[in-house]
């Protein structure tokens, strides 16, 4: 959905630090936006009835609330029963594809609201749940809001929909679970631990889940929506892409909801993890541990390298691309930007071809799946978290990419510019963080410099690149760390060392505490001993002592 008039100036949230947003108190504001609640469902009519009953008792205005239940080919077909919100409709999945991600995607297509609230079909929401979600989306259109879910060990037959509706409407939903064990979700524990996600920078998307998350229609479209091929873990993968599209993750502790029964994550945890891993490894490059020590080519690269090959010699392009492909970070993708459409198969004099170098470049990388030939680079990578732009003819040390990403993370930057001697451009190499770039593109007004906006939303850092980049490769003999294999080993050792240091510090600190406590005990014992000795001293001896010391003082005076 795009409007023709320029949108009003958007709030510029730095990193994931949403502290500048000041949402209104619940119950004290007037909503304007239509919220579409999308519920993918497969079977369990009774739980769906509970979910809809709770939604029928929301404080959010009924005329601004629509509910879309997506029936993922249940047998028997799901139906709507009262109580449920006025504008509730059911959409049935008809194609060959199936699964919750696919169902959500179909539901979003059928929705007409600016705000999408995605709920599971076994969720009982509190009466201000929708309102709590929606208040944030009235402030800003690149947020993903996470509700606060808890797991209740209860079955739907103990929750008659009419009772649910009235309890929720009175704001007493918690009374429905009296006497039951309630377990908070791990996502919410993470929220508490990291200062409401404000300090998680580029990792806040980890808390994304399907049980209760809302986002703007715009953010959904910008990141490409749910990926129907993800049968499990689709919500996490979607969260990851929403972050790359510039999304900010905001937890709202007042958007309370209960999950009916323990989650599958809980009951078959290990199997679920095993299933998800290869899917995540392919699609979520920031889960670095899944790609450890393997040269497997994965679907989404960690870094997209952009090399402009216009007017560059074949040798320069080949050398640059080759150094990037042999670095310590193996999951990169290279985009060679050039006028590829001009290469035709027409008869030509092979050695006098005006596009001779271009043709040789194309042939060299034709079969490497990591290299793509493109006419123009996109505004931002689709899913890779970083983009590195460098000129043809520049060589990189094997550790260059890893080091540069290290700088970006240490400095918490959205972009790192490298000055490299021997290259004309001041920023000869730039590393951009996709999430920062996408947000900057979105909030930028037409006359603003993109880099200034990146600086505002995430920070731009300058670095001297002469140690990692140049016109010649650093001598491998001279610098062992320039060998990719050595480099990886050294990095591993460094990490291990840091861990050991931390442990040692912990022990030191705790040992110190023990020692201090022991010292305190010793002192107390000593004092008690002294007091005991004093107490056992006969009165006359104490008196004599006092007189003696007074006499002494008088003599001195």
Partner 1 sequence: MTTDPFAAFLKRKNVLVASIGHRPGRRPATIPEDGPEPVYVDLDDLDVSTAPAHEFSGLAVFARTMTDLHRAVAASGLLRPVQRCLIVITEMTKTNRPTQVRLPSYWTAQSLRKLQIRLDDPHRWSCEFACGQPLSPTDFIRAVLASTTESPRPMVPRIALHGPGSGHWGPGAPSNPVAPLPAEETPSTPFYDVVVHTAAPEAVSSDERVSFVQVRDPRPDRRGIFGPSGDPVHDTADAGIIPPIDEYTVNRMGFDNRPKEHDADLVYGDHTWQVHFTDGKRRRLDVSGAVTDYDVEQLRELRSLRVDWSSHPGSVAGLRAVAGLACAGVPLVSVGASPVWAASLAGDLLSRMDMYDSEDLADGLRREAHAVALSRSSLREHSTTAHAARLRAAIGLPPEEAPTVSVLLCTMRPDFIESAMRQIAAQDHPRIEVVLVLHGLDRDAPAVKQAVADCPLPVTVVEVEGDRIFGEALNHGATAASGDFITKFDDDDWYSPRHVSDLVASARYSGAVLVGCAAELIYLEEFDLTVQRFGGRSERRSRHVAGGTLLVRRSDFRELGGYRRLRTAEDRELLSAVADSGGTIYRMHGTGYVLARRASGHTWNRPSASFLKNAERQLRGINLGDFVSRDDIEAAL
54/50 Cα distance (integer angstroms): 6
Q: Cβ(14)–Cβ(5) under 8 Å?
A: no
Examine residue 409 and tell whether it contacts partner 1 (CB under 8 A).
Answer: no
Examine residue 141 and tell whether it contacts partner 1 (CB under 8 A).
Answer: no
Examine residue 498 and tell whether it contacts partner 1 (CB under 8 A).
Answer: no
Closer Cβ to partner 1, 193 or 268, answer by number: 193
- Which of 278, 421, 480, 520 binds partner 1 (CB under 8 A)? It is 421
Examine residue 452 and tell whether it contacts partner 1 (CB under 8 A).
Answer: yes
Q: Which residue has 């749910």 as its token pair?
A: 226
Residues 407-423, buried b or exposed e (16+ Cβ, 10 A)?
A: bbeeeebbbbbbbbeeb
What's the gap between Cα 108 and its chain centre?
22
Closer Cβ to partner 1, 366 or 410, answer by number: 410
Q: Which helix (H) or strand (E) holds 37?
A: strand 35-41
- Which of 13, 420, 437, 443 binds partner 1 (CB under 8 A)? It is 420
69/198 Cα distance (integer angstroms): 33
Closer Cβ to partner 1, 356 or 419, answer by number: 419
Which pair of structure tokens corresponds to residue 479? 């610098």
- Which of 175, 466, 480, 524 binds partner 1 (CB under 8 A)? It is 466
207/198 Cα distance (integer angstroms): 13
CB of 321 to partner 1, least distance (A): 25
DSSP state of 160: -
Closer Cβ to partner 1, 292 or 519, answer by number: 519
- Which of 464, 492, 515, 529 binds partner 1 (CB under 8 A)? It is 464
Mark the segment that binds partner 1 (CB under 8 A) among 1-9, 72-80, 264-272, 453-461.
Answer: 453-461
The bridge status of strand 182-184 relative to strand 143-152 is antiparallel
Closer Cβ to partner 1, 237 or 455, answer by number: 455
Residues 182-193, buried b or exposed e (16+ Cβ, 10 A)?
A: eeebebbebbee
Closer Cβ to partner 1, 503 or 552, answer by number: 552
**Residue count, binding to partner 1 (CB under 8 A):** 16
CB of 418 to partner 1, least distance (A): 8
Mark the segment that binds partner 1 (CB under 8 A) among 46-54, 232-240, 454-462, 496-504.
Answer: 454-462
CB of 525 to partner 1, least distance (A): 12
Contacts of partner 1 in 63-92 (CB under 8 A): none
Examine residue 549 and tell whether it contacts partner 1 (CB under 8 A).
Answer: yes
How many of the other CB atoms lie within 10 Å of CB of 516?
10
Among candidate residues 186, 184, 175, the one with its CA nearest the CA of residue 150: 184
Among candidate residues 213, 211, 233, the one with its CA nearest the CA of residue 282: 233
414/460 Cα distance (integer angstroms): 6
Mark the segment that binds partner 1 (CB under 8 A) among 135-143, 181-189, 300-308, 456-464.
Answer: 456-464
CB of 273 to partner 1, least distance (A): 36
Mark the segment that binds partner 1 (CB under 8 A) among 20-28, 243-251, 304-312, 452-460.
Answer: 452-460
258/94 Cα distance (integer angstroms): 30
Closer Cβ to partner 1, 19 or 184, answer by number: 19
Examine residue 461 and tell whether it contacts partner 1 (CB under 8 A).
Answer: yes
H runs (alpha helix) in 170-263? 186-193, 217-222, 234-244
Q: Cβ(143)–Cβ(219) under 8 Å?
A: yes
**Triad 513, 514, 515: Cα angle to 5°:** 90
- Which of 463, 474, 482, 488 binds partner 1 (CB under 8 A)? It is 463
- Which of 462, 479, 484, 490 binds partner 1 (CB under 8 A)? It is 462
Contacts of partner 1 in 504-543 (CB under 8 A): 526
Residues contacting 42, CB < 8 A, separation 6+: 71, 72, 73, 74, 100, 103, 121
- Which of 80, 231, 265, 419 binds partner 1 (CB under 8 A)? It is 419
CB of 316 to partner 1, least distance (A): 22
Among candidate residues 486, 412, 295, 298, the one with its CA nearest the CA of residue 287: 298
- Which of 68, 460, 482, 488 binds partner 1 (CB under 8 A)? It is 460
Q: Which helix (H) or strand (E) holds 336?
A: strand 332-337
Q: Cβ(173)–Cβ(258) under 8 Å?
A: yes
Examine residue 556 and tell whether it contacts partner 1 (CB under 8 A).
Answer: yes
> Interface with partner 1 by CB under 8 A: which residues?
419-421, 426, 452, 455, 460-466, 526, 549, 556
């Amino acid at each position: 959905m795009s409007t023709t008039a320029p949108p009003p100036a958007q709030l510029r949230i730095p990193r994931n630090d949403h502290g500048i947003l000041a949402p209104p108190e619940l119950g004290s504001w007037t909503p304007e936006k239509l919220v579409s609640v999308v519920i993918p469902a497969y079977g369990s009519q009774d739980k769906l009835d509970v979910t809809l009953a709770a939604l029928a008792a929301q404080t959010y205005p009924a005329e601004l609330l629509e509910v879309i239940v997506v029936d993922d080919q249940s047998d028997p077909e799901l139906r709507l029963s009262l109580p449920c919100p006025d504008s509730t409709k059911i959409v049935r999945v008809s194609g060959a594809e199936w699964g919750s991600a696919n169902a959500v995607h179909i539901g979003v297509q059928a929705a007409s609201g600016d705000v999408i609230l995605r709920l599971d079909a076994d969720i009982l929401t509190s009466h201000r749940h929708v309102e709590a979600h929606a208040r944030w989306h009235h402030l800003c259109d690149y947020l993903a809001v996470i509700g606060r879910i808890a797991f209740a060990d209860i079955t739907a037959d103990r929750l008659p929909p009419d009772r649910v509706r009235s309890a929720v409407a009175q704001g007493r939903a918690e009374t429905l679970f009296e006497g039951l064990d309630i377990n908070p979700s791990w996502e919410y524990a993470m929220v508490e631990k990291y200062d409401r996600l404000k300090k998680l920078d580029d990792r806040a998307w980890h808390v994304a889940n399907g049980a209760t998350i809302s986002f703007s229609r715009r953010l959904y479209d910008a990141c490409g929506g749910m990926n129907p091929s993800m049968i499990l873990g689709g919500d996490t993968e979607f969260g990851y892409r929403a972050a790359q599209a510039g999304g900010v993750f905001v937890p709202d502790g007042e958007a309370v909801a209960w999950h009916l029964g323990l989650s599958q994550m809980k009951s078959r945890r290990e199997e679920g993890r095993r299933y998800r891993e290869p899917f995540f490894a392919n699609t979520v490059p920031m889960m670095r541990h899944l790609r450890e020590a393997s040269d497997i080519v994965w679907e989404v690269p960690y870094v997209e390298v952009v090399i402009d090959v216009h007017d560059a010699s074949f040798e320069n392009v080949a050398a640059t691309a080759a150094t990037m492909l042999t670095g310590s970070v193996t999951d990169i993708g290279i985009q060679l930007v050039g006028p590829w459409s001009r290469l035709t198969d027409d008869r030509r004099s092979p050695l006098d071809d005006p596009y001779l170098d271009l043709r040789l470049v194309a042939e060299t990388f034709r079969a490497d799946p990591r290299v793509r030939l493109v006419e123009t680079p996109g505004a931002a990578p689709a899913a890779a978290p970083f983009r590195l732009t460098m000129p043809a003819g520049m060589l990189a040390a094997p550790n260059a990419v890893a080091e540069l990403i290290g700088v970006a993370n240490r400095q918490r930057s959205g972009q790192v510019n490298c000055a490299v001697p021997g290259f004309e451009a001041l920023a000869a190499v730039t590393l951009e963080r996709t999430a920062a770039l996408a947000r900057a593109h979105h909030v930028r007004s037409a006359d603003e410099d993109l880099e200034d906006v990146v600086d505002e939303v995430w920070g731009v850092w300058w670095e001297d690149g002469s140690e990692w980049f140049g016109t010649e490769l650093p001598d491998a003999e001279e610098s062992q760390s320039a060998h990719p294999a050595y480099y990886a080993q050294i990095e591993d050792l460094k990490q291990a060392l840091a861990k050991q240091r931390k442990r040692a510090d912990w022990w030191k600190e705790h040992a110190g505490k023990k020692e201090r406590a022991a010292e305190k005990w010793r002192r107390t014992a000593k004092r008690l001993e002294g007091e005991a000795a004093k107490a056992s001293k006969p009165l006359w001896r104490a008196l004599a002592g006092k007189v003696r010391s007074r006499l002494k003082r008088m003599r001195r005076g």
